[in-house]
Structure 1
Amino acid sequence: MTVTLAEIELALVRLDLVHSFETSSHRKTYLEHIIVRATAEDGSVGWGECASPSDPYYCGESTSSCWQVLGEYLAPMLLGRPWEHPEDAARLTAKVSGNHFARAGLDMACWDLYGQSRGKSLADLLGAEADAVPAGVSLGIEPTIDALLAQVSRHVADGYRRIKLKIRPGWDLEPVRAVQDAYPGVALQVDANTAYRPEQEAVFAELDGRGLLMIEQPYDASDLLSHARLAARLDTPVCLDESITTPDVLRTALHLGAADVVNIKVSRLGGLGPSQTVHDLCLDAGVPVWCGGMHEFGIGRAANLALAGLPGFTLPSDVSGSDKYYRRDIVTPPIRAVDGMVAVPRSRPGIGLDVNLEQVRRNTTRTWTIRPHGHHTTSEEKSA
Structure 2
Amino acid sequence: MKIKRLAMHVIRMPLKQPFYTHLQTVADREAIIIEVEDRDGTIGWGEASAFSTPWYTEETVKTEWHMIKDFLFPMLQGKEIRHPDDAGTLFSALRGNQMAKAGVESALWDLYAKKQNQPLFQVLGGIRTSISTGAVAAGKSVNEMLERIQRLIEDGYERIKIKIGPNQDIELLKAVRKAYPHIPLMADANSAYSLADIAHLTQLDQYGLIMIEQPFSVEDMWNHAKLQNVLKTPVCLDESIRSLHDAVCAVEMQACRVINLKFSRVGGLSEAKRIHNYCFERKIDLWAGGMIEFGVSRAHNAALSSLPGFTMPGDIVSTSHYWEEDIIDPGIFVERGRIQLSAEAGIGYPVNRARLESKREAYYAV
Alignment match, 2:151: 154
Alignment match, 2:279: 282
State the distance in 2 between where 1:58 and 1:196 align. Answer: 15
For each residue in 1:188-222, what CA deviation from the matched residue of structure 2 results, as whole angstroms up to 9, or x when unmatched?
10001111111011231111111001000000111
| 1:353-372 → structure 2 map (5 Å cutoff) | 353-369=349-365, 371=366
C-alpha contact (below 8 Å) 1:173/1:203 kept by paired residues? no
- Match among 233, 236, 247 for residue 233 of structure 2: 236
**Where is the strand percentage greater, Structure 1 or Structure 2?**
1
Alignment match, 1:99: 97
Residue type at the aligned position of 1:319: I
**Partner of 1:332: helix, strand, or coil?**
coil
Tell whether 2:207 aligns with 1:210. yes
> What TM-score, normalized by structure 2, do the two folds share?
0.98
| 1:1-384 → structure 2 map (5 Å cutoff) | 3-140=1-138, 142-346=139-343, 348-369=344-365, 371=366
For each residue in 1:291-337, what CA deviation from the matched residue of structure 2 results, as whole angstroms up to 9, or x when unmatched?
11101111100000001011111111101112111111111221000
> What TM-score, normalized by structure 1, do the two folds share?
0.94
Residue type at the aligned position of 2:121: A
C-alpha contact (below 8 Å) 2:269/2:304 kept by paired residues? yes
State the distance in 2 between where 1:295 and 1:343 align. Answer: 20
C-alpha contact (below 8 Å) 1:116/1:349 kept by paired residues? yes
C-alpha contact (below 8 Å) 1:305/1:345 kept by paired residues? no
State the distance in 2 between where 1:296 and 1:85 align. Answer: 25
Give aligned-pair identity as a percent. 36
**Partner of 2:37: helix, strand, or coil?**
strand
**1:258 positional shift:** 0.6
State the distance in 2 between where 1:173 and 1:54 align. Answer: 31
C-alpha contact (below 8 Å) 1:74/1:96 kept by paired residues? no
For each residue in 1:267-298, what CA deviation from the matched residue of structure 2 results, as whole angstroms up to 9, or x when unmatched?
00111000011111101111110011101111
**1:4 positional shift:** 1.8
State the distance in 2 between where 1:92 and 1:41 align. Answer: 20
For each residue in 1:89-145, what CA deviation from the matched residue of structure 2 results, as whole angstroms up to 9, or x when unmatched?
2222221111000001100110011111111111010111111111110122x2321
State the distance in 2 between where 1:91 and 1:225 align. Answer: 30
Alignment match, 1:378: none
In structure 1, the gaps of 5 or more residues are 372-384
State the distance in 1 between where 2:358 and 2:252 align. Answer: 48
C-alpha contact (below 8 Å) 2:48/2:264 kept by paired residues? yes
C-alpha contact (below 8 Å) 2:3/2:81 kept by paired residues? no
**Partner of 1:169: helix, strand, or coil?**
coil
State the distance in 2 between where 1:12 and 1:357 align. Answer: 13
Q: CA RMSD in A?
A: 1.0
Q: How many residue pairs are counted as aligned between the two chains?
A: 366
State the distance in 2 between where 1:259 and 1:24 align. Answer: 22
**1:169 positional shift:** 1.7
Residue type at the aligned position of 1:318: D
In structure 2, the gaps of 5 or more residues are none
Residue type at the aligned position of 1:68: H
Q: Which runs of 4+ in 1 moved over 4 A?
A: none
**1:259 positional shift:** 1.4
For each residue in 1:54-110, what CA deviation from the matched residue of structure 2 results, as whole angstroms up to 9, or x when unmatched?
211111111111111011110111111111100112222221111000001100110
Tell which deviates more after alignment, 54-63 or 88-97: 88-97
C-alpha contact (below 8 Å) 1:135/1:317 kept by paired residues? yes
C-alpha contact (below 8 Å) 1:133/1:308 kept by paired residues? yes
C-alpha contact (below 8 Å) 2:23/2:55 kept by paired residues? yes
**1:34 positional shift:** 0.2
Alignment match, 1:379: none
State the distance in 2 between where 1:138 and 1:149 align. Answer: 11
